[in-house]
Amino acid sequence: MTQTSINGLLGRGSMFVFSRSQLNLLLGLESVARTSWKGEYLLDLGAGDGEVTQVMAERFEHTHVTEISTTMKWTLEKKGFSVFEVENWANTEYSYDLISCLNLLDRCDRPLTLLRQIKAKLRPGTGKLLLALVLPFKPYVEVGNADNQPSEKMKVEGSSFEDQVRSLVHNVFEPEGWRVDRWSRVPYLCEGDLHQSYYWLFDAIFVLAPVQNGVASNVSSVSSALAKDNDNVPRSEIVNKHETCAVNINSEVDILDTAMNQR
């Protein structure tokens, strides 16, 4: 039994990635006029015990999840989520307003294939990917491979958090046909054990838009209803309350550099 399944069986191991207000900021839903907005379909890949899923699910009419751990699936079903098998979610009839892939890309065997599958399941023209990745990048596949390393390699280079963010944009997102709309550095907290109350890492979290024929959608958020506000989103917003930085870089990596200097 894996560590994840043990956690699911014991009802422990909950994680924190972002608050509701941070999520609203990332999705461009922070203004008062947007607080009642709801999308139709959310898909959370690798949802774990569903605690983070619940934060996102409040913004959507329907929430679907995937999870490889049997005990975590039980937990997700108890919370009322529709659980899809990891082998089948890409073959369903649904198109999603938002697909979340939080701290999964470094834990799956074929991360590049996963990015392509996600792109195919987003609602055309408006769907977005919310992706979080622990940096420094250290891939580890819990199930399936003897050496616990993925069969597909992501070219993430650099020794610092900033260098690895730039590398992700240049070497992974752009070649795979994604544009970064917003991003942030957030604490990734995990319930601890007998040795320590909690553990913490740093996540780089991105809102990504698929690029079609070299052009990404102009929709600022996860809904075409918000498109009219796209030009009013500032390129750089420092949010001291949450100690996060959300940046609309529009594929201009120079703005990423500027944001790093502002931290």
Q: Are 119 and 199 in contact (CB under 8 A)?
A: no
Per DSSP, helices labelled H in the chain are 3-10, 20-26, 51-57, 70-78, 111-121, 161-167, 253-262
At 151-176, the pLDDT tens digits run: 999 999 999 999 999 999 999 999 99
- Give the residue-averaged pLDDT of 191-218: 77
**What pairs with residue 41 in β-bridges?**
62
Closest CA to 260 of 155, 213, 249: 249
Q: Are 250 and 259 in contact (CB under 8 A)?
A: no
Q: What pTM did the predictor assign?
A: 0.78
What 3-state class would DSSP assign to 240?
A: coil
- Give the residue-averaged pLDDT of 54-71: 95
Q: Are 112 and 176 in contact (CB under 8 A)?
A: yes
Which tops the pLDDT comparison, 186 or 13? 186
Binned at pLDDT 50, 70 and 90, residue 199 comes out as: confident
* Mean pLDDT, rounded, of the chain: 79
- The pLDDT, as a whole number, for residue 77 is 95
At 77-122, the pLDDT tens digits run: 999 999 999 999 999 999 999 999 999 999 999 999 999 999 999 9
At 101-113, the pLDDT tens digits run: 999 999 999 999 9
Greatest alpha-carbon pair distance for the chain in Å reads: 52
Which tops the pLDDT comparison, 249 or 203? 203
Q: Are 169 and 180 in contact (CB under 8 A)?
A: yes
Q: Are 44 and 104 in contact (CB under 8 A)?
A: no
- The pLDDT, as a whole number, for residue 230 is 35
At 135-157, the pLDDT tens digits run: 999 999 987 777 889 999 999 99
Binned at pLDDT 50, 70 and 90, residue 254 comes out as: very low
**Number of other residues whose CB lies within 10 A of the CB of residue 186:** 21
Binned at pLDDT 50, 70 and 90, residue 36 comes out as: confident
Percent of the chain with pLDDT over 90: 58
Tokens of 175: 């070649």
**Number of other residues whose CB lies within 10 A of the CB of residue 141:** 18
Q: Taking the C-alpha atoms of 196, 135, 209 and 242 in order, what is their torsion angle to the nearest 10 degrees?
A: 50
Q: Give, in words, the CATH class of 3-262.
A: alpha beta
